[in-house]
Each structure stands twice: as C-alpha cells, then as structure tokens.
Amino acid sequence: MKEIAAKESGIGPILDAARRAPVRIAGKDGTVCVAMSLERYERLRGSAWDRLAESIDELRKEAAANGLTDAELEALLADDS
C-alpha cells in the first residue's frame, strides 16, 4: 500500500473528516475511493479474514460430515473447470 505524508498532500481536511466517519472521494465517474480511520480499516480487514476463516472451517466440517477428506476437498477447490 502506498503511503503519502499528510503534510505534503494537502488532504488535512479529508483526514480530519475520515477520523470521524468514512469519506467518499468522487471523481468525474463517481466514487473512486473511501478514506477512513486506520482503526476502522483494521476492524473491517480483520472481520473479513475472520469471516473467511469461519467459512472455511464450516466448509471443512460439512465436507467431513459427508465423507470428503481434506485432500479431496483441496482438489475440488483447486479444480478450475
């Protein structure tokens, strides 16, 4: 991820607003990005990984309950057809 010093970028007002709530930044074609606090970003990022890990665990349990081994499950998931 690229890092830009706030002093050099002139985005101080956007950062101030983003500390309070996410800020949509629009371009000519609509919203191009969202600025948010680091705390909120890390929470979102962490929760997404947590949900993915939970989904994988549930999938493995369901597969095992149906007689599918981890190796067979991995082969199915790796199949691009």
Predicted confidence (pLDDT) per residue in 19-56, tens digit: 999 999 998 888 889 999 999 988 888 888 888 888 88
Q: What's the number of domains the chain is made of?
A: 2
Q: What is the pTM of this model?
A: 0.50
Q: Which of 36, 40, 42 has the alpha carbon at shortest distance from 24?
A: 36
Clarify whether residues 26 and 55 are in a common domain.
no
Q: Using the predicted structure, report yes or no on whether residue 14 has a pLDDT greater than 80.
A: yes
Clarify whether residues 44 and 69 are in a common domain.
yes
Clarify whether residues 32 and 46 are in a common domain.
no
Does a structural domain hold residue 48?
yes
- How much is the mean pLDDT over the chain? 85
Clarify whether residues 49 and 30 are in a common domain.
no
Residue of 75 and 9 predicted with greater confidence: 75
Instruction: Count CB atoms within 10 A of the CB of residue 18.
Output: 19
Averaged pLDDT, 12-25: 91
The pLDDT value given to residue 17 = 92
The pLDDT value given to residue 53 = 84
Clarify whether residues 43 and 29 are in a common domain.
no
> How many whole angstroms separate alpha carbon 68 and alpha carbon 56?
14
49 touches 41 (CB < 8 A)? no
Which amino acid is located at 54 in the chain? E
> How many whole angstroms separate alpha carbon 8 and alpha carbon 15?
13
Q: Using the predicted structure, report yes or no on whether residue 11 has a pLDDT greater than 90.
A: no
Structural domain that includes position 59: 39-78
